[in-house]
Chain A
Amino acid sequence: MKRTKLLRWGLWIVLGLGSMAMVLPFYWMVLTSVKSKSEIVRIPPSFLPESLTLSNYVEAWERLQFPLLLRNSAFLATTMTALILLSSALVGYVFAKVDFPGREPIFILVLSSMMIPFNVVMIPLFLLIVRLDWADSYWGIIVPGIFSSFGIFLMRQVMGTIPEDLLDAARIDGASEFSIFWRVALPLSTSPIAALGILTFMGQWDSFLWPLIVLTRADLFTLPVGLALFNNRFYTEYGPLLAGATISVVPILILFFSAQRLFMESVALQGMKL
Chain B
Amino acid sequence: MNFFRARRRQQLIFAACVIVPMLASYALFLVWPVGWAFSISLSDWNLFQNAGNFVGLRNYMRAFRDPIFRISLTNTFYYAILSVPLGLGLAILLGVLIQGAGRFRSLFRVLYFMPVLTSEIATGVLWRWLYQPEYGLFNSILSAINLPRLGWLYSPELAMPSVVAYATWKGIGFTVIIIMAGLDGIDETYYEAARVDGANLWNLFWHITLPLLRPTLTFVLVTGVIGSLQVFGPVYVMTQGPGGPLNRTRTMVLHQYQTAFLSFQWPYGTAIAFISFAIIMALTLAQLRLLRRRWEY
Contact = CB atoms under 8 A, between A and B. Distances in A.
Interface of A: 8, 11-12, 14-15, 18-19, 21-26, 28-29, 32, 40-45, 87, 90-91, 94, 98-100, 106, 109-110, 113, 115-128, 130, 143-144, 146-147, 152, 171, 176-178, 181, 202, 205-206, 208-209, 213, 223-224, 227-228, 231-232, 235, 238, 241-242, 244-246, 248-249, 252-253, 256, 260, 263-264, 267-268, 270-271, 273-274
Nearest to A236: B132
Interface in B236-290: 236-237, 240, 253, 256-257, 260-261, 266, 269-270, 273-274, 276-277, 280-281, 284
B196 interface: no
Interface stretch (B96-104, B155-163, B186-194, B204-212): B96-104
B97 A15 contact: yes
Interface stretch (B27-35, B56-64, B67-75, B78-86): B27-35
B15 A25 contact: no
B215 A238 contact: no
B203 interface: no
Nearest to B182: A271
A273 B7 CA distance: 33
B112 interface: yes
A147 B20 CA distance: 12
Contacts of B25: 144, 146-147
25 contacts: A18-B94, A21-B169, A23-B114, A25-B130, A29-B129, A42-B135, A98-B15, A100-B16, A113-B30, A116-B34, A119-B276, A121-B34, A122-B273, A123-B260, A177-B13, A209-B257, A223-B119, A227-B119, A228-B236, A231-B128, A252-B118, A263-B113, A264-B109, A267-B177, A271-B182
B199 interface: no
Nearest to A269: B181
B240 A253 contact: no
A176 B13 CA distance: 11
Contact of B137 (A28, A98, A125): A28
Which 5 pairs between the two chains have the least Cβ-Cβ distance?
A177-B14, A124-B33, A268-B181, A245-B122, A19-B111
Contact of B237 (A41, A113, A178, A231): A231
Q: Which of B15, B173, B223, B237 has the most CB of A within 10 A?
A: B15
B169 A25 contact: yes
Contact of B125 (A42, A126, A227, A263): A227
A32 B240 contact: no
Q: Which of A15, A94, A98, A256 has the most CB of B within 10 A?
A: A15
A22 B115 contact: yes
B121 A41 contact: no
Contacts of B233: 208-209
A238 B136 CA distance: 10
B23 interface: yes
A12 B101 contact: yes
A228 B215 CA distance: 37
Contacts of B130: 25, 28
Given A127-B266, A268-B177, A11 B129 contact: no
A128 B114 contact: no
Given A11-B101, A256-B117, A264-B113, A245 B126 contact: yes
B19 to A, nearest CB: 6
Q: Which of B117, B128, B232, B237 has the most CB of A within 10 A?
A: B117
A43 B140 contact: yes
Interface of B: 7, 10-16, 18-19, 22-23, 25-26, 28-30, 32-34, 36-37, 40, 47, 94, 97-98, 100-102, 104, 106, 108-130, 132, 134-135, 137, 140, 143-144, 169, 173-174, 177-178, 180-182, 215-216, 218-219, 222-223, 226, 230, 232-233, 236-237, 240, 253, 256-257, 260-261, 266, 269-270, 273-274, 276-277, 280-281, 284
A240 B106 CA distance: 34
B123 A25 contact: yes
A176 B253 contact: no
A117 B230 contact: yes
B126 A28 contact: yes
A40 to B, nearest CB: 7
Given A15-B104, A113-B26, A117-B226, A231 B114 contact: no
B273 to A, nearest CB: 5
Contacts of A100: 11-12, 15-16, 19
Contacts of B23: 106
Given A19-B111, A248-B118, A267-B113, 11 more contacts: A14-B97, A25-B169, A43-B135, A43-B140, A115-B284, A119-B230, A206-B120, A227-B121, A246-B122, A248-B122, A274-B222
B224 to A, nearest CB: 12
B26 A202 contact: no
A264 B19 contact: no
Contacts of B100: 8, 11
A206 B22 contact: no
Nearest to B10: A177
Nearest to A260: B110
Contacts of A19: 108, 111-112
